[in-house]
Structures are given as structure tokens and as C-alpha cells.
Amino acid sequence: MQTRTDRITAHDGTFDVRTWLPETGGGPGILLIQEIYGVGPYIEKVAGELASRGYVVAAPDLFWRIRPHWRGEHTEEGTAMSIELARDFDLPQGVADCALTVAHLRAMPEVRGGVGALGFCLGGTVAFMLATKVELAAVLSFYGSAVPESTGLMERIDAPLLLVFGGDDPFISRDRVAVVEEAARSRPNVVMHIEEEAGHAFHNSEAPMFHRPEAAERAWAVALDFLGRELPVR
């Protein structure tokens, strides 16, 4: 597996995009969208696994305007600092940066096949919003906190969409998840997966206060199956 850092130019500056290439040299592209902790050890771990499965993975530094190369610690203090930092994050700008990263992926000679998007927490919201603006082969959103308030946008999403939530999430209450379930019921392109006993960020193996290994394993199996159907590695 090879890694590198690419640079993308936006209207107001340039930002880094960490890129992972599979051993085969190329494959379908995945935009990997960070949590509030930045492009840190957890995102690196997810990217490495996806690249090992044959995907070209690109993870943009979404906090570049407010704190470039932020790598928040997975501790109570680090989480509090990351939450505070995220309050200054401009969501529309972040979605625009991700759209630029999708275009960058499509232009890469290593990308063979479609391009999808996968986001966690903050990134789950960004992935959902991005899917209303950019054509994607597959979209995976893990516990995006703004999704329940944005279900009216679901009709703008044509791509296959996987929405993952925890049923015991203190940041996204179960009744708000139910709103998403109801909106998804009439959308044949939308798949819901809820881990009823899990809370927020339960897939994050770098955060002991959040991680729920069994729930994470089940949800990740669903995600990989979804990718295998909608964005297969040839």
C-alpha cells in the first residue's frame, strides 16, 4: 500500500488530501470524511483497511481554514477541544471542499470505476449533504448528527445511501433516528442500519469511551457488503 499527500486548490486557498493507494495500483475511489478528531489515527486505520480491499481512498483536511492538520486526542479533553473546534467549521464550505476532492479522485489515473463517499459523525453529515449536490456511486453516512433535521433533502439523493445510527446515542436521540427511518421508508435507494444498544461513534476503535466492538463489527460488515454491491472492486 502506498500513501501520499495531494494538494487541492479551493477559491480561498489550498488544502491537503491524504491519499491511500491499493497494492494493485488502482481501483474505485472513496472519499473518506473525517470526524471532529481530524484525519488522525482512526481515519488512517479505516483508510488503510479500505485500501487493502482495493479502493483508492482520499481524506481531505476539512479543518484547514480553522486549524490545519488537526489531530484531536481520543480523550475527554481532546474530545472537548475537538467539539469546540467543530463549532467554527463552515458546513457548506466543507461540502464544497469534498466536492472538489471527488473531482480530484475522478481525475486520478489510479481511480478505475466509480467514486463513493464515507463519513463518520461530522463526516456523516457532510457525506449526506454532499450526496444532494454531487453524483456518487455509493454514500455511507455513520451517525451524522444533522441528518435527522435534513430528511427533506433525501429526495435529492439518487445514489445508493446507507445510513448507520446507534439506538442509544446521547447526541442523536432515538426518536430523531425514527424520523430518519420514516423518511427512508419510501426511498428504495436508502438502507438503514441501527445498532440499538450502541451510542455515538461506536465504530471508532481509537476512542474507548465510544467504541462498542461487537456493534462496530456488525455495522462494518453491513458497510462492506453495501460497498461490495454498489462500488465493487473489479
CB atoms within 10 A of CB 151: 18
pLDDT along the chain (234 residues), means of 10: 96 98 97 98 98 98 98 95 97 98 98 97 98 98 98 97 98 98 97 98 96 98 98 96
Query: Distance (Å, rounded) from C-alpha 73 to C-alpha 37?
Result: 7
Query: Distance (Å, rounded) from C-alpha 144 to C-alpha 136?
Result: 18
Helix (H, G, I), strand (E, B) or coil at 63: coil
Which class for 130: exposed (0-12), middle (13-18), buried (19 or more C-beta within 10 A)? buried
For the entire predicted model, the pTM comes to 0.98
Report pLDDT for 103: 98
Report pLDDT for 165: 98
Going from the C-alpha of 51 to that of each of 14, 48, 82, 216, the distances in angstroms are: 25, 5, 27, 19
> Kindly report the CA angle at 38 between 32 and 43, in degrees rounded to 5?
45
Report pLDDT for 174: 98
Report pLDDT for 1: 84
